[in-house]
């Protein structure tokens, strides 16, 4: 097996991730063929100690070049896991050892960062993803605050191209559209990616074991949208989610929500008090998506019968509900405007996305000064909600569609359709830094930018 180079790989690493083709039995006797970590998808929950350096061996048993990205960790570019940041790859049928010092504490995740372009069997369309829990004093999820914790990765499978946008980005969004153009682009849309099958973790709704709970239990749910293609809605009839962390970072104002809206790349940590004995479906509010697998059964002790679904009354999702009311940020050193547009390509072709008028790459366009505070304004002039992600940095939400907030630290934010989001980012992680939409096809066709430090 060829060595990938990099750090010497003497002895066994603290963590070994093996990339292999796998078969996932989403529903009994129906297997789908994909690629996973250590024979499964999601891969193992990786627990790390904040600040404690560990070695990770990645063994790639496929014929594709791979990258393992540590999403939400503040680590150097050469181990972050992105080609654009010049992280050394894991060669086809090869291996490489990385050393990482995980921080900050909280719910993070790992996933492939390979490009897919027109190949729906590559990149985040595969099963290469899993949770990372960084343990530490500031982890918002301290033992004693919950009786049971569950990890719920939301996924879709067997993606296919279609000429229609089948997502539901408008479902929970009734807000203003400050970036809506006066004259709409009427050119015919290009290819979108859709999915006929859904799951939470590796089972479609009803195909796996129910989550067993007892009355009075406080269940800590770590929810991750590991989809390559779309934002997701999730509800649990009879119950409310108490949101305690977004993207693994404690929120200033833990508050209740009836429905979660979560973009690819985002994590939500929510406490659910189990106070409605019965058998329930936690799942997507859209009947077609839930019936195609997006859900899991929650079963109270000594309760039996068909799992019950009741449509939620309130689909609204508002990040600012969890922020510090009346708070503000220090004045920025500089403001950066980023304008996102879609160039519709017509039937059978891939749409192109531009950042400030140009698709990736941008020649030295975004250069940061170490220590400076940047106010970044995302102008979404497209007809989709986009989950926008910064590598290697946290940012603070400042404003969403005119609503100010403070204290919410994230690494990925959904910028609503024709909407505007403002975030503050302190440039405290020198090195190449990738910014992109976390919808794989958008990223691959232009929706990304590279930030560097001067």
The residues that touch Cu ion, with contacts defined as CB under 5 A, are: 386, 437, 439, 442
Q: How far is the CB of 416 from Cu ion (least distance, A)?
A: 12
Q: How far is the CB of 420 from Cu ion (least distance, A)?
A: 15
Q: How far is the CB of 112 from Cu ion (least distance, A)?
A: 18
Comparison of 166 and 256: residue with beta carbon closer to Cu ion: 166
Residue 320 tokens, joined: 């600012």
Q: How far is the CB of 315 from Cu ion (least distance, A)?
A: 21
Residue 143 DSSP symbol? T
Rounded to an integer, what distance in angstroms lies between the CA atom of residue 421 and that of residue 415?
Answer: 6
Rounded to an integer, what distance in angstroms lies between the CA atom of residue 174 and that of residue 352?
Answer: 26
Comparison of 85 and 384: residue with beta carbon closer to Cu ion: 384
Comparison of 100 and 437: residue with beta carbon closer to Cu ion: 437
Q: At which residue do the structure tokens 């989610």 appear?
A: 241
Q: How far is the CB of 124 from Cu ion (least distance, A)?
A: 12
Q: How far is the CB of 210 from Cu ion (least distance, A)?
A: 34
- At 390 the three-state DSSP class reads strand
The burial of 210, by beta-carbon neighbours within 10 Å (0-12 exposed, 13-18 middle, 19 or more buried), is given as middle
- At 440 the three-state DSSP class reads helix
The burial of 436, by beta-carbon neighbours within 10 Å (0-12 exposed, 13-18 middle, 19 or more buried), is given as buried
Rounded to an integer, what distance in angstroms lies between the CA atom of residue 236 and that of residue 275?
Answer: 12
DSSP bridge partners of 261 = 233
Is the link from the previous residue into 361 a cis peptide, with omega within 30 of 0? yes
Rounded to an integer, what distance in angstroms lies between the CA atom of residue 285 and that of residue 259?
Answer: 8
Comparison of 290 and 442: residue with beta carbon closer to Cu ion: 442
Comparison of 432 and 443: residue with beta carbon closer to Cu ion: 443
Comparison of 392 and 442: residue with beta carbon closer to Cu ion: 442
């Amino acid at each position: 097996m060829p060595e990938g180079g990099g750090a010497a790989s003497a002895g066994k690493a603290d963590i070994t991730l093996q990339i292999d083709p796998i078969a996932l039995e989403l529903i009994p006797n129906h297997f789908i063929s994909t690629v996973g970590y250590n024979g499964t998808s999601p891969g193992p929950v990786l627990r790390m100690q904040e600040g404690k350096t560990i070695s990770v061996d990645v063994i790639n048993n496929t014929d594709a070049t791979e990258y393992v990205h540590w999403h939400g960790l503040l680590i150097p570019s050469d181990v972050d896991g992105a080609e654009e940041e010049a992280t050394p790859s894991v060669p086809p049928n090869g291996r490489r050892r990385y050393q990482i010092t995980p921080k900050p504490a909280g719910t993070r995740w790992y996933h492939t960062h390979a490009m897919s372009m027109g190949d729906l069997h590559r990149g985040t369309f595969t099963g290469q993803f899993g949770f990372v829990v960084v343990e530490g004093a500031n982890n918002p999820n301290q033992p004693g605050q919950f009786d049971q914790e569950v990890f719920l990765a939301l996924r879709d499978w067997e993606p296919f191209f279609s000429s229609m946008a089948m997502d539901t980005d408008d479902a929970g969004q009734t807000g203003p559209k400050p970036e809506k153009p006066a004259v709409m682009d009427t050119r015919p849309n290009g290819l979108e990616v859709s999915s006929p099958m859904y799951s939470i973790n590796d089972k479609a709704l009803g195909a796996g074991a129910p989550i067993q709970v007892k009355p009075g239990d406080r269940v800590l749910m770590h929810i991750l949208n590991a989809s390559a293609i779309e934002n997701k809605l999730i509800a649990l009839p009879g119950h409310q989610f108490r949101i305690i962390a977004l993207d693994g970072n404690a929120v200033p104002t833990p508050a209740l929500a009836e429905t979660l809206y979560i973009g690819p790349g985002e994590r939500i940590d929510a406490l659910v008090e189990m106070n409605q004995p019965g058998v329930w479906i936690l799942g997507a509010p859209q009947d077609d998506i839930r019936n195609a697998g997006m859900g899991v059964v929650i079963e109270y002790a000594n309760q039996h019968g068909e799992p019950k679904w009741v449509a939620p009354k309130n689909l609204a999702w508002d990040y600012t509900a969890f922020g510090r009311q009346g708070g503000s940020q220090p004045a920025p050193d500089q403001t950066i405007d980023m304008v996102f547009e879609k160039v519709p390509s017509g039937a059978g072709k891939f749409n192109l996305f531009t950042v400030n008028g140009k698709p990736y790459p941008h020649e030295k366009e975004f250069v940061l000064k170490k220590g400076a505070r940047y106010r970044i304004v995302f102008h979404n002039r497209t007809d989709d909600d986009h989950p926008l992600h910064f590598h290697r940095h946290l940012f603070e939400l400042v404003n969403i569609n005119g609503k100010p907030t403070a204290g919410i630290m994230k690494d990925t934010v959904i910028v609503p359709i024709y909407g505007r989001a403002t975030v503050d980012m302190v440039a405290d992680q020198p090195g190449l830094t990738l910014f992109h939409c976390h919808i794989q096809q958008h990223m691959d066709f232009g929706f990304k930018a590279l930030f560097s430090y001067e």
